Amino acid sequence: MLLTKEFTFDAAHFLTKYHGKCENLHGHTYKLQVTIEGKPDHEDMIMDFIELKDFVNKKVVDKLDHSSLNDTFDNPSVEVMVVWMWDQLKDLPKANAKLHEIKLWETATSFVTYAGN
């Protein structure tokens, strides 16, 4: 069974290996979708949504929200960011669940999907 929670955060960036509009400083409202996989536990939950929210906020969202992404990443493309996010989130605080997939939207119609490989 899969369980998903969505997050949004605002951040500024510029791309350092790209020539075009996005090489200039600008901002996005990013959407993040974290999906975990597992079996419901004795409380009939894979993971409490509040516990998942707190975990993702602490490990990822709080570190990036209202930040300049270039302080964290050399070249903050969504491809680079999602690999870092996977690393931050892969050790879930629940033995019955594991990270399944992360989706990260840079705009309403542009996103990347990553499953750890």
> From the CB of 13, what's the least distance to Zn ion, in Å?
6
> From the CB of 97, what's the least distance to Zn ion, in Å?
32
Question: How far is residue 53's CA from residue 71's CA, in Å, rounded to a whole number?
Answer: 24
> From the CB of 37, what's the least distance to Zn ion, in Å?
30
Stretch that binds Zn ion, among 21-29, 47-55, 70-78, 83-91 (CB under 5 A): 21-29
Q: In the complex with Zn ion, which residue's Cβ is closer, 21 or 39?
A: 21
| Short-list 84, 86, 79, 81, CA closest to 102 | 86
β-pairing verdict for 2-13 and 67-68: parallel
Contacts of 59 (CB under 8 A, 6+ apart): 88, 89
Q: Does 12 bind Zn ion (CB under 5 A)?
A: no
Q: Does 112 bind Zn ion (CB under 5 A)?
A: no
Q: In the complex with Zn ion, which residue's Cβ is closer, 81 or 92?
A: 81
Q: In the complex with Zn ion, which residue's Cβ is closer, 22 or 45?
A: 22
Question: How far is residue 22's CA from residue 13's CA, in Å, rounded to a whole number?
Answer: 8
Which residue from 12, 22, 45, 83 is in contact with Zn ion, where contact means CB under 5 A? 22
| Short-list 81, 10, 92, CA closest to 52 | 92
Residues interacting with Zn ion, by CB under 5 A?
22
